[in-house]
Amino acid sequence: MNAVVDVLMKFFGGFIIIYMSLIIVAYTGMLIFAFIEIRKQYKLDKTASDEDYIDASYYKPLSVIIPAP
């Protein structure tokens, strides 16, 4: 009985270590991609990208009317 418990503990211990390692690698990868995207957004000039479309003829003015409750 004691040998079975030892085998189960080693199996589940190894499984947990492998699972947590995969999770840590996945989250680290997402963090790296997020930092790269944040850096791109930081370097982007937000006013320059909007000014090109302000005077475009294919954009119509939009009014939103919300009824009062």
pLDDT digits (tens, 9 = 90+) for 19-37: 999 999 999 999 999 999 9
What is the rounded distance in angstroms from the CA atom of residue 28 to the CA atom of residue 17?
16
d(CA 37, CA 29): 12
Q: Is the dihedral of CA 57, 58, 59, 63 positive or negative?
A: positive
**Both tokens assigned to 66:** 């919300």
The pLDDT value given to residue 7:
93
Asked if 53 and 59 count as a contact pair (C-beta separation under 8 A), the reply is yes
| Structural domain harbouring 10 | 2-43
pTM: 0.57
Within a domain: residue 55? no
| 10 pLDDT above the threshold of 80 | yes
Counting the structural domains of the chain, the total is 1
Return the residue matching tokens 């790296």.
32
Q: Residue 54's pLDDT is what? A: 66
3-state SS, residue 69: coil
For the chain, give the percent of residues with pLDDT over 90.
49
Residue 38 lies in a domain: yes
